[in-house]
């Protein structure tokens, strides 16, 4: 299926062992090419593996890559732009669903530019019990370093105003859909 601007997709996040870890109800396609899929949502429902769900508190712009082992979420919070970056497989599209495998390690970037690596213990635990190969471990560690360098250089989604520009495009798409739905 060809995904195009304005399409609404679901997101499914899996673990290495194939278990569905988290789902997101809705994301609107803002941009897509052979390398990247950019979607956005606002106050969307997230359902965790235990069945509990909650609604996100803020709008977000999500960057998924075809050849990169991470995805990046720009969160437009009241107190600034935060990023939550997942070390994860490149995405695939299955019907109207974005799917990827999450490998626990995350990079949290704060509005002041500072950042923190999250969930190292969870990664080590899953690496042991799910028997990640040395090759997979190397891909994951290299991807984390690539992501940190991308952030330090202020490139890609970390480039000033990129997230806001895509969020404005999202609002335009949503507004045009509302006008059509009358």
Q: What is the pLDDT of residues 96-117, one digit of tens each?
A: 999 999 999 999 999 999 999 9
Percent over 70 (pLDDT), the chain: 97
Burial of 99 (0-12, 13-18, 19+ CB in 10 A): middle
Residue 181 has pLDDT above 70, yes or no: no
Helix, strand, coil % in the chain, rounded to nearest 5? 30, 45, 30
Contacts of 95 (CB under 8 A, 6+ apart): 1
Contact in structure between 28 and 8 (CB atoms under 8 Å): yes
Alpha helix locations (H) across 37-133?
Answer: 120-129
- Does the annotation count 22 as an active-site position? yes
For the segment 110-146, what is each residue's pLDDT rounded down to a tens digit? 999 999 999 999 999 999 999 999 999 999 999 999 9
Distance, CA of 17 to CA of 129 (rounded, Å)? 10
For the segment 68-87, what is each residue's pLDDT rounded down to a tens digit? 999 999 999 999 999 999 99
Residue 176 has pLDDT above 90, yes or no: no
What is the band of 3 on the pLDDT scale with cuts at 50, 70, 90?
Answer: very high
Q: Choose, from 8, 22, 120, 124, the residue flagged as catalytic.
A: 22
Reference 76, options 147, 171, 155, 151; nearest CA is: 171
Backbone angles phi, psi at 149, to 5 degrees: -65, -40
């Amino acid at each position: 299926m060809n995904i195009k601007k304005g399409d609404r997709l679901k997101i499914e996040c899996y673990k290495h062992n194939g278990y569905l870890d988290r789902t997101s109800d809705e994301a609107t396609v803002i941009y897509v090419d052979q390398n990247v899929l950019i979607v956005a949502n606002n106050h969307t429902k997230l359902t965790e593996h235990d069945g509990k769900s909650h609604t996100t508190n803020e709008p977000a712009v999500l960057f998924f890559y075809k050849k990169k082992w991470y995805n990046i979420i720009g969160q437009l919070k009241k107190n600034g732009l935060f990023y939550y970056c997942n070390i994860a497989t490149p995405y695939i599209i299955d019907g109207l669903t974005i799917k990827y495998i999450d490998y626990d390690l995350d990079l949290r970037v704060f509005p002041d530019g500072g950042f923190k690596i999250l969930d190292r213990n969870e990664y080590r635990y899953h690496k042991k019990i799910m028997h990640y190969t040395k090759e997979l471990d190397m891909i994951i560690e290299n991807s984390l370093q690539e992501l940190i360098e991308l952030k330090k250089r202020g490139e890609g989604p970390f480039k000033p105003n990129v997230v806001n520009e895509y969020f404005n495009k999202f609002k335009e798409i949503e507004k045009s859909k509302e006008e059509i739905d009358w």
